[in-house]
Structure 1
Amino acid sequence: MALEFKKVNEVNMEGIKKIYNDSFPIEEMVPFNKLVSISNDIDYLFYGLYDDSTLVGMSYLIIKEDMLYVLYLAISNSYQNKGYGKMAINEILKKYSSYRISLNIEEVNLESFNYNQRLKRKNFYQFFGFVSQDYLISNDEGVTFETMVINGDVTHQEIRGIFDELKDHKIDLN
């Protein structure tokens, strides 16, 4: 069983969109059409994750100089707990081993309604060697995230820059 990353296209777009919509709260989502329109083969990488011909997940990766930022990584509800998340992380770690690889998770806070889910997610990334940075960051909707990284450190300013750059893309979504 090998996981293949295939660029978003007309054939797989609806399946990827369903995984995206099912996986992330609205206050953490960049409009799907915007993600598609700014994706490219250089620094905004939007993929469907496939096991043979079966779409099992999606990822959105952003490259900035020597950093890879995992904006989104999700496995379809039907395929969770089957090892696909681990395979996806292993593929990212292998392919981008020379990069600082960073991502954000929702802040692990005892008062959170989904505390156990957040803690499980943090433990999942720590298993691979990701470490928490010494800061939290919030998006425009007020969601607070913890930044985790492997292969070095990532500053608050670097993550803020990615958030701001995504926001600054002026794209007609109609």
Structure 2
Amino acid sequence: MMNVELEKEIKFKFVERDDSKLAELKRLYMGAFPAEERAPFWFLLWKARDGNVDFYSLYEDKSWIGLLYLVHHKDITFIFYFAIDHKFQSSGYGGRILAKLSELFPEKRLILTIEEVNPTAANNEQREKRKQFYFKHGFTECDYRLCERGIVYEMLAKGGFVTSDEYTELMKVFLGKWLFWLFKPEILTD
């Protein structure tokens, strides 16, 4: 008889202002994303009160493993922030979470941005690995890139193509008219 270890279920728990993991969430967020790529943490908490935003703390059993910040608009879900605590990285959690997202939102097209693969970037090897990870999990390139605060991002999608106009509309709804005008991303096409 063969011993089989069953994969434990990953749980998505909504983040609340009084969440016991708030300090850990903030630490992970601050460590996982460079300052120029981060929105203020208080802003993420504030926007998470909107009906079109889900801010999740990720668990397997009682172990806290990471965070996921989603923005929904029509049939699109934008994976705005996604990070796994360093203790659990390279253990298959990222792929399992992406698979669960597809299960939770089967009618949605999933999109996300990654730093552009660029041979002159100091972290290009990391960028290439990240892109290959998302390709492995069903994401494909869109035909445009974004430039925000001088950083160029590639747009990846799963479940169907998302146009730059659709992305722009999503961000206008998420940020509101004034913040969108202030931080409007530049759409780059080749």
Q: Establish whether TM, by shorter chain, passes 0.5.
A: yes
Aligned counterparts of 2:178 and 2:57: Cα–Cα separation in 1: 24
Give the deviation of 1:100 after TM superposition.
0.8
TM-score normalized by structure 1? 0.91
Q: Do 1:137 and 1:156's aligned partners in 2 also have CA atoms closer than 8 Å? A: no
Aligned counterparts of 1:156 and 1:169: Cα–Cα separation in 2: 17
Aligned counterparts of 1:75 and 1:20: Cα–Cα separation in 2: 10
Q: Do 1:46 and 1:61's aligned partners in 2 also have CA atoms closer than 8 Å? A: yes
Q: Do 1:19 and 1:74's aligned partners in 2 also have CA atoms closer than 8 Å? A: yes
Say if 2:169 is the partner of 1:161. Answer: yes
Root-mean-square deviation (Å): 1.8
Say if 2:28 is the partner of 1:15. Answer: no
Q: Cα deviations across residues 101-145 of structure 1 (Å, max 9, x unaligned)? A: 111111111111111100101101101111000111011x11111
SS at match of 1:122: helix
Give the deviation of 1:41 after TM superposition.
6.8
Q: 1:163 to 1:150 in 2, by over 3 A?
A: same
Unaligned 5+ segments in structure 1 are: none
Aligned counterparts of 2:168 and 2:50: Cα–Cα separation in 1: 23
Between the aligned residues of both structures, percent identity stands at 32
Q: 1:112 to 1:160 in 2, by over 3 A?
A: farther
Aligned counterparts of 1:87 and 1:41: Cα–Cα separation in 2: 26
Say if 2:158 is the partner of 1:150. Answer: yes
Q: 1:22 to 1:3 in 2, by over 3 A?
A: same
Unaligned 5+ segments in structure 2 are: 1-7, 180-190
Give 4+ residue runs of structure 1 displaced > 6 Å after superposition.
Answer: none
Q: Report the counterpart of residue 182 of structure 2 in structure 1.
A: none
Q: Report the counterpart of residue 72 of structure 2 in structure 1.
A: 63
SS at match of 1:4: strand
Match of 1:137 among 131, 146, 159: 146
Q: Cα deviations across residues 132-166 of structure 1 (Å, max 9, x unaligned)? A: 00111011x11111000011111112223344445
Say if 2:60 is the partner of 1:51. Answer: yes
Say if 2:98 is the partner of 1:89. Answer: yes
SS at match of 1:17: helix
Give the deviation of 1:169 after TM superposition.
7.7
- Rg (Cα) greater in structure: 2
Match of 2:40 among 31, 55, 64: 31
Q: Report the counterpart of residue 113 of structure 2 in structure 1.
A: 104
Aligned counterparts of 1:100 and 1:46: Cα–Cα separation in 2: 18
TM-score normalized by structure 2? 0.84
